[in-house]
Structure 1
C-alpha cells in the first residue's frame, strides 16, 4: 500500500523482517477473497457474483451487495491499475438504476422481505477495488454525481490483506461542505428546542470533520456517517439527549452510566455496539476520543 511498510517481529532473535506487499496472481483471487468476507471487509452483505445484466445490455457485474444502510452496492475489481474500472462500474450503476425491481427481487430472495422493502435508492454505491489508482482516477470520481469509493488492496505474506481508501465521494461534490449546509437547514426546520439543535449541529460538525471522504446517509430513523463502512449513527433528538452509536467494542471502554452503554445484543436504530448519550456540548467534547476511535476502525 502507498507509503505503508509492514514488519513481522522475531521474538526469538529480537529482529524484524519486512513483509513485502504483492498483487494477486489474477483478478478473480481478489474477488473471491472479498466476496467470502464482504461484510467484515466492507460492511456490505453479499448478494451475487458475476451477475448478468442480460443480452441487451451485455455485461456481468463482478459483485452485488447491500450496505449497512440499505444502499445497493456494485463492486468492480482489477488486479492492478486499470483506467476503465470506474467507467465500467458507472455503466453497471446506470443499468442498476433502470432495473430496481430486479434488484429488489434479488434482495428478497437472498436477505428476505424486510431487507427488500428498505432498499435505499437515493444513494446507490460503486466500490472499485484495484491494485492502484492514478490521480486522474481520483479527479474523475469527484466529477461524477454518484457515490464512488476507490479502494487500493495489497496482499502481505500468505495471510494478510490490506485495504486503503484512496477516495470516497458522494454525489460528485465535497460531501462535508454540502452536509454541513444540509445540517443547518434541517436543524432550522427541526421542532426540537434550541439546545438540542445546537447539540445536533455540534455532533454533525465533529463527525464530518474527522477526515476527508466522510459520507452522510439519511435514513428515517437515523443518520449514518460513513467512510467505507458506517462509523457513527446519530438518532433524532429526544427531549433532553442525543444517542450516537459507534463501531467501538464496549469491552475496550470504561463505561460510564448515563454517558456510555453496551448495546451489543440489544435492538436499536443504526449500527454499532457502543451507545453514547449526549446532553450538553461538554458531552460532545468528552466523546471525541470515542468518535475518533470509531472513525479509525471504519
Structure 2
C-alpha cells in the first residue's frame, strides 16, 4: 500500500520503514492489542507441550481465546500451523484456562469460554498469493493481516478479505481427509450473516429486509465501519463496537453501546439493561418491530458512533 503526504495539491510519497525483526512487530502489537483488535493480552511466548504461541489473547466480546502469530517470511503454511494451534487449544483447554486465571488474576470457568469462536490471527509484512488463497473459504477460523511501518511513525494494517462461498470441509474426502481439520471444524464455527438470517426456519421476510435496511444505513454513518459477527450478535465497529443487532422472528433487538446516563433518548424508547444480563455491548436496547422508528434508532446509533470516536 502506497501512502502520500498532501501539501496543497502536491503529493509526496511516504517512505516505508520496514521491520527488521519479527519481535519488533510482536512487541508493537502486544502493547496495542486492545486498540487494534479489541483483545486482552493474556500471555506472551506461551509454551504448551512442544509449541510456542507468540501471543495468547482473550476476546471479551465473544468469551473466546485468540492466538496471534507474527511472521516475517512467506514460506510457511498458515493452514497447517493454524489448524495445529487450534487443535492444541481444543485438546488442552484446562491449560489455557489455568494460564488465563493465573496471569490475569481472574476465575473464569471452562464452560464460560465459548470454544466455538476460537481463532488464529497471522500478522506479517507480506503474505504470498498461495497463503492468501489457502484461506479463501467461507468458514476458515483464521485472519491474515499485513502490517507496514512507514516514516514519521505511521503504521498501516490491512486485513486480507475472503469472498468465497466454499466450505473448507467440502474439500476433504472421507478416505483421505485431514483428521485435524475435521476435529477442529466440528467444534469451531465461523459465524456469518447468513447464519443469523437463516438459523430460524420461520424467519419472516420482513425481518430480513428490515435488517438489511438497518445495516445499509449503519454502514453509511462513517468510513471504515466493519462487521464483527458472533454467535448471538452482529456487531458494527470502527474503533470499537458501537452497536449490536440481534435478529429475532419478531424483529430486531438493537443494542446501543453507551453507559447508563450517556444516551439522549427523547422518546424514551430504549430499555435500561445496566443491571440485567444480555447479549451485546452497552446498557441500552431498542426494539424494531417495523421500520416505524428506524430513523430514530439511527439517531441513537449515531450517538454511540460519535462516542466511540473519542
Distance in 2 between the 1:270 and 1:236 partners? 11
Paired residue for 1:7, among 1, 5, 8?
5
Gaps of 5+ in 1: none
User: Counterpart in 2 of 1:72?
Assistant: 65
Distance in 1 between the 2:191 and 2:100 partners? 33
User: Counterpart in 1 of 2:125?
Assistant: 131
Q: Does the aligned pair in 2 maintain the 1:147–1:171 contact within 8 Å?
A: no
Deviates more, 1:35-44 or 1:82-91: 82-91
Paired residue for 2:156, among 159, 162, 165?
162
TM-score (norm 1): 0.69
| Cα separation, partners in 2 of 1:177 and 1:36, compared to 1, 3 Å | closer
Write the mapping of 1:42-57 to structure 2, written as runs, cut at 5 A.
42-54=37-49
Write the mapping of 1:1-298 to structure 2, written as runs, cut at 5 A.
2=1, 5-7=3-5, 17-54=12-49, 58-67=50-59, 68-79=61-72, 81-111=74-104, 112-114=106-108, 117-143=111-137, 145-167=139-161, 173=167, 179-180=193-194, 182-186=196-200, 188=202, 198-199=206-207, 202-203=210-211, 207=215, 214=227, 216-219=229-232, 223-225=233-235, 230=241, 232-235=243-246, 242-245=253-256, 255=264, 257-258=266-267, 269-270=278-279, 272=281, 277-279=286-288, 280-284=290-294
TM-score (norm 2): 0.67
| Cα separation, partners in 2 of 1:180 and 1:136, compared to 1, 3 Å | same
Measured after TM superposition, the shift of residue 140 of structure 1 is 1.0
- SS of residue paired to 1:202: helix
| Cα separation, partners in 2 of 1:105 and 1:230, compared to 1, 3 Å | farther
After superposition, what is the alpha-carbon deviation per residue over 1:211-260, rounded to whole angstroms, capped at 9, x for unaligned? 999553114xxx1437897564224769887223359xx99x9x552489
Gaps of 5+ in 2: 169-188
Distance in 1 between the 2:62 and 2:252 partners? 23
RMSD (CA atoms): 4.7
Measured after TM superposition, the shift of residue 43 of structure 1 is 0.9
Distance in 2 between the 1:144 and 1:178 partners? 9
- SS of residue paired to 2:116: coil
Distance in 2 between the 1:276 and 1:168 partners? 32
Distance in 1 between the 2:121 and 2:279 partners? 22
- SS of residue paired to 1:28: helix
Distance in 2 between the 1:19 and 1:257 partners? 47
Distance in 2 between the 1:216 and 1:243 partners? 14
